[in-house]
Structure 1
Amino acid sequence: MAEPREMTGARCPLCGSPEIPFFYEEGGFRYRRCRRCRLVFLRPLPGRDFLEAHYQGYLETTEAGERAWGREMEPVVRAAADALSGMFPAPGRLLDVGCGYGFFLAEMQRRGWEVEGLELSKGAAELARRRTGAPVRSLSVEAAEFPAAFDVVTLFYVIEHLPDPISVLRKIRGVLRPGGVLLLRYPNTAPLIRLVGPRLARRLRLMQAPSHLYDFSAAAMDRMLRMAGFAETRTTLLGNTRPRRLVSRLVSCYIGGLAERAARWTGGRLLLPGVSRVTFASGAPGRLPRPRSRRRL
């Protein structure tokens, strides 16, 4: 196991504030929370070699594990595909970073898109290639080079795993075509830790330490995207996972469905805490459709 890197200066990596008190500890890994921008981040960071080795076993490569993941993510895949299809009059070119088993690639491919994937797990990348026949490279987004641009880049539950998310977002901004769209889906775990308390949070491994290096509020994500050069962002709630365990599935469907309806009814102004966010971003202002507001009952 690689030794964690010590902090280079005691400052928030997003806003530079020195006010970053301890927030939470899980499995010997310590998280801080910036008082200014509310970003939660792991410090010290594990080394890059450790993280790349860690993710080789992050996804199950058994047939049963693959099927279970597909069922769990099916509502998320469908909702994201519908949203992106509504933004583009015709299919284009799409990159899915951290594509896993390739379920989202397959869905967009079925809708006529030209797709490409990146996936650190060699086993999952091979399964994604078999599923789609598309180019799926087993390497990090930091190491990847792209000879052509994309209309859409997606990251489902990836941004929280990246040691330097701002530099990756800048790279992605550079490979999007004019009018292109970035879609990010990421957890919002910090409110749950405060709700259930650190002891239960550690038992449930809510931060999945050391996998999750960051936890973003909608405001922190918006700030980071603006710093990376995106001109317009919109955060909403879009689809909810279908966990394997029945009780967790019922909770997810009820809470997630309620939260999604609340976001839709308020035009995205009300985002319930603890529910995974979806943020759309574009380098061109006016590119993203605005959600329709409804009167509050």
Structure 2
Amino acid sequence: MFELRDECILCRGSAFDPVWRGRFDDPDVSRFLRQFHYSSDLGCLTRQDFNLVQCANCGMRFHQRILAPDWIDRLYSEWIDSRQIEAFEKNVADTDVTRAAYEQVRQDIKHLLRLRDTVAARTQGPIRLLDFGCGDGRFLRLAEMLQFESVGVDFSASRKERAQGTGVRIFPDLGSVSRASPGAFHAITLFETLEHLVHPRETLGALTRLLEPGGVMIVTVPDCRTPIPPTTLTEFHNVHPLEHLNCFTPATLTRFVESVGLVPMSRKPAHVTTRLKDVLRTEASRFWQPKTTTLYARKPAENGASNA
């Protein structure tokens, strides 16, 4: 049911320091799990252990004991379904659903405006965008509205079901994308995806190869500078031992993208609304950008310049 990762996902070191160890049927852990979007009985996890470690060499944190591939497929195809996702988002993720939805759309549009401003000069046609881990395709729909040529990848059957009938193109893997939409992409996005991957560095490297020289990648992950053991649902979600296999901080995320040849870059201001508070906050970002686990990075141009 579980398998062991015996080398660091970043530097491939083999010496680890323990961070958080426990069992899925520990009272606090099982209480958190019951609040998540699982439609199946998780009794099969009784007496099963998890083990969050930190690499003694580079400081990367990751869960060493993870679900085997067939169980990961079961997690995303059977345990998580559309009904449970909607219930979780409505009742647990944010009590003010309207405000949360507005803020999410606002941030998504800012990402798209920044991408358009950054890469539009490099192409005479539409900006080709790949959203890896696209879920139900919400970001793809916004991208299409702004005249991006966009495709997505998601391996969760339940999330893809939610996108049916919306007109967005979602594929199960990168091979399917390359066959259906050959050529390099001007922009690639990974929103809350890298933490779920068994082989995150290999996947990030494959995506980098699909990015054209000078192209931009946006990566967001949960910020795992969180108390251990977690005491709130948000803290638990950041280091979720079933789903969030890789636990990033701003420093380790930066080293991660640099390890595949990408160059971190500053985010350009992007105005979405004319509300004074939003305008001031956006303009302030010209002078100060706190370290977060939202990272923009560029693939160096063929002449070696990053154009950052």
Compute the TM-score of the two structures, normalised by the length of structure 2. 0.70
Shift of 1:53: 2.0
| CA shift in 2, pair 1:115/1:202, >3 Å | closer
2:133 and 2:193 in contact (8 A); partners too: yes
Mind listing any 5+ residue stretches in structure 2 that lack a counterpart?
25-48, 91-96, 271-277
1:116 aligned residue (144, 151, 156):
151
Question: Could you tell me which residue of structure 1 aligns to residue 226 of structure 2?
Answer: 192
Task: Determine helix, strand or coil for the equivalent of 2:261.
Answer: coil
| CA shift in 2, pair 1:16/1:236, >3 Å | farther
CA distance in 2, matches of 1:125, 1:203: 25
2:187 and 2:211 in contact (8 A); partners too: yes
| CA shift in 2, pair 1:55/1:76, >3 Å | farther
1:185 and 1:278 in contact (8 A); partners too: yes
Query: What is the CA deviation profile of residues 193-213 of structure 1, one whole-angstrom value per residue up to 9, with x for unaligned ones?
Result: 2xxx41515895232221001
1:13 aligned residue (9, 17, 33):
9
Question: Could you tell me which residue of structure 1 aligns to residue 294 of structure 2?
Answer: 278
CA distance in 2, matches of 1:202, 1:31: 17
Q: Say yes or no: does 1:168 pair with 2:237.
A: no
Letter in 2 for 1:105: L
Q: How does 1:15-164 map to 2 (within 5 A)?
A: 15-25=11-21, 27=24, 28-56=49-77, 57-58=79-80, 60-61=82-83, 70-71=101-102, 73-89=104-120, 91-131=126-166, 133-137=167-171, 139-141=172-174, 144-146=176-178, 147-164=182-199
1:40 and 1:216 in contact (8 A); partners too: yes
Query: What is the CA deviation profile of residues 225-265 of structure 1, one whole-angstrom value per residue up to 9, with x for unaligned ones?
Result: 222232x11376999xxxxxxxxxxxxxxxxx9xx879826
Question: Could you tell me which residue of structure 1 aligns to residue 258 of structure 2?
Answer: 226
Task: Determine helix, strand or coil for the equivalent of 2:163.
Answer: helix
| CA shift in 2, pair 1:47/1:144, >3 Å | farther
Query: What is the CA deviation profile of residues 104-147 of structure 1, one whole-angstrom value per residue up to 9, with x for unaligned ones?
Result: 1011100001111111222321332422x13212x244x64513
1:236 and 1:263 in contact (8 A); partners too: no
Mind listing any 5+ residue stretches in structure 1 that lack a counterpart?
240-256, 289-297
1:235 and 1:277 in contact (8 A); partners too: no
Letter in 1 for 2:120: P
| CA shift in 2, pair 1:140/1:209, >3 Å | farther
Task: Determine helix, strand or coil for the equivalent of 2:240.
Answer: coil
2:223 and 2:248 in contact (8 A); partners too: yes
CA distance in 2, matches of 1:29, 1:262: 44
Shift of 1:166: 0.9
CA distance in 2, matches of 1:5, 1:238: 44
2:215 and 2:298 in contact (8 A); partners too: yes
Asked which structure has the greater CA Rg, the reply is 2
Aligned residue pairs: how many? 252
Q: Which runs of 4+ in 1 moved over 6 A?
A: 235-239, 260-263
Compute the TM-score of the two structures, normalised by the length of structure 1. 0.73
Question: Could you tell me which residue of structure 2 aligns to residue 295 of structure 1?
Answer: none
Question: Could you tell me which residue of structure 2 aligns to residue 292 of structure 1?
Answer: none
Shift of 1:100: 1.1
Query: What percent of counterpart residues are identical?
Result: 22
| CA shift in 2, pair 1:187/1:24, >3 Å | same
CA distance in 2, matches of 1:180, 1:203: 33
Question: Once superposed, what is the RMSD of the aligned Cα atoms?
Answer: 3.2
Shift of 1:15: 2.1
